[in-house]
Amino acid sequence: MSTVGVPLKLSDTSPDFESLVLQLQLFLDSKGTWSDVLPSSLGQTLIEMMAAVGAFNQFAIESALREAFLTTAKRQSSVYAVARMLGVRLVRKSPASVSVNLQRGDSTVQKVIPKFTQFTINNKKFFNRDNIVFPAGVIAVGKAHIYDSTVPDVLLYEGEVKTKSYSSDTTQFREIYLEENGFNVSDEDVQVKITNVIQNVNEVWSRTRNGNAIWTADPGEKVYYDSTSGLGDTIITFGDGARGAVPPLGSSIDITYAITSGSAGNFGTSNIEVKSVADGDITGSTVEIIKGGSDEKSAMFYKTMVPHIFKARSRAVTGKDYQAICLHYAGIASATVSAQRTTAFRASTPNWMNVVQICLLPEKPLPAAGIDPSEDFTLTAGQKSDFMEYLQEFQHVAILVDLKDAYKILVSLEVTVFLKKAASPGLVLPVVADRIRTLFARSHLTLGRKIAQSDVVDACLVEEVDYVDLKTMKFSDQLGSVVSDLLPLDPTVTDPTASFELRSMSAFLELEDTPATFKINTQYSERG
């Protein structure tokens, strides 16, 4: 007889409290040695005490077993712990950035503003990631003043710069916790400088390649592993000599980092005054909106994406590898990847050999940021540059990446929900509206995702709703009351031979959330 699918039976005992009480009572009855088990007796009290302990222990065992696996874990801390166990690094907040113009009063000599210099914009602290150089005779730097393409924009990033110092004791695989919980340390802005007191030498050590753990480092390699705890604290780990270098005994370990507010640092207004905190001779203004700030990834993200990130193993080979690595980047909500072999019309075009086309959709900014909806779905030039630098750590040198902007298609929607007799419209309406907004919210599936009529109907069918009448579901530029499934297609792809994947990879649907374009009507059902 086949035993496939038959569950393993460990015991005849049911572990809940009531069952344990009953089974203990039956056990005593079967022995015949204790016959005065009454509701108020000592025997009954002992039975209930043992049953309570047994039920509690069983609950603890089941809880520990459930939280040990990614698919069944319910606690945020458990999801983070499993992700860390699999070597997936937890991403912290990423700072907003802005291009600025800077001026100085004295231009007679060259002036260098070192990285991590503190500025203020819009009553928030900002800093520079790279040295800012004023050549001799130059009074101003930035996009509006220097028209030389070889000179980069001056970019500032939102965050407060801090430095903490430690003394090296040559402990192998030493871990330093910055004691900054909450994922607030900028994911890209941690600098570790080792000062050898005996030799009087300062050296800036690098992160491990591809964000890999310290054991992947070469012997004596001057690197550190930057990781994040489940509480959002930043952990700096050094090697043991054979796998990464150990800071020399007595040397000073200076860790400079930036505390950022993530998405709360975005601000949809330009031409804001820029001030240097330490140097009153430096002034300036922003030349674009402040955007790009993002928060840490949610536990649900890791629960969904950790298997794919783990499978990629810190290298981009397949399309799924690229997608997982892109989604792991801070501030990215959705990503699509298209290679030559998946775009049939390019198969015979040599120019597209070894080219991977990627479309990135950033997370939606907070409403308080005041960012124009026409600018909330594309990356700035600085963000694209940062992303390409990040991606180079994973991809083959022979692969070229074509970074494509997302294309937003607005959707108008009107629906009537017919309520059951006992339902309250004032309570049901917000719930239905929130479920519809969640359906259109940005997620890893957003780019190229079809929204069917049944998706909206399902979102409206809460317990208090009897049935639904979908009156309008259309692209906002369509005329009339149209009801149809919505398929996002990028109109900028005009080649008739282009595959469906290429035509949809950069397009996404977003609900136009105004009283005129998003309506939910309520009526009571005529069905009893």
More confident residue, 528 or 478: 478
Q: Which residues of 131-167 are buried (b: 16+ CB within 10 A; e: fewer)?
A: ebebeeebebbbbebbeeeeebbbbbbbbbbeeeeee
Mean of per-residue pLDDT scores for the chain: 88
Convert 383-436 into a string of H (helix), E (strand) and C (coil).
HHHHHHHHHCCCCCCCCEEEEECCEEEEEEEEEEEEECCCCCHHHHHHHHHHHH
**What are the residues whose beta carbons fall under 8 Å from the beta carbon of 393, sequence distance 6 or more?**
209, 210, 211
Summarised one tens digit per residue, pLDDT across range 120-177 is 998 899 999 999 999 998 898 887 544 445 556 899 999 999 999 999 988 999 999 9
pLDDT at residue 528, rounded to an integer: 67
- Dig out the tokens for 465 from the structure: 């709703």
Summarised one tens digit per residue, pLDDT across range 182-206 is 999 999 999 999 998 777 788 999 9
- What share of the chain in percent tops pLDDT 90? 56
pLDDT at residue 411, rounded to an integer: 96
Which residue, 417, 462, 455, 461, is CA-closest to 439?
A: 455
Residue 4 has pLDDT above 90, yes or no: no
Distance separating alpha carbons of residues 138 and 105, to the nearest angstrom: 10
- Dig out the tokens for 233 from the structure: 């604290």
pLDDT at residue 343, rounded to an integer: 60
pLDDT at residue 370, rounded to an integer: 82
pLDDT at residue 311, rounded to an integer: 87
Give the number of residues written for the chain.
528
Residue 284 has pLDDT above 60, yes or no: yes
Beta strands in 198-331 (DSSP E): 201-207, 223-228, 234-237, 252-259, 273-276, 282-286
Identity of the residue numbered 105? G
- 116 near 256, Cβ under 8 Å? yes
Summarised one tens digit per residue, pLDDT across range 444-453 is 999 999 999 9
Widest CA span of the chain, in angstroms? 105
- 153 near 147, Cβ under 8 Å? no
Summarised one tens digit per residue, pLDDT across range 473-502 is 999 999 989 999 999 998 888 777 777 788
pLDDT at residue 346, rounded to an integer: 54
pLDDT at residue 147, rounded to an integer: 47
Distance separating alpha carbons of residues 408 and 64, to the nearest angstrom: 44
- Dig out the tokens for 379 from the structure: 């990356």
Of the chain, the end-to-end C-alpha distance in Å amounts to 52
Distance separating alpha carbons of residues 117 and 113, to the nearest angstrom: 7
Distance separating alpha carbons of residues 139 and 494, to the nearest angstrom: 47
pLDDT at residue 3, rounded to an integer: 46
Cross-strand pairs, 524: 419
The pair phi, psi for residue 390, each rounded to 5°, is -65, -45
Summarised one tens digit per residue, pLDDT across range 21-39 is 888 878 777 777 766 667 7
Q: In the predicted model, what is the mean pLDDT of residues 95-107?
A: 91
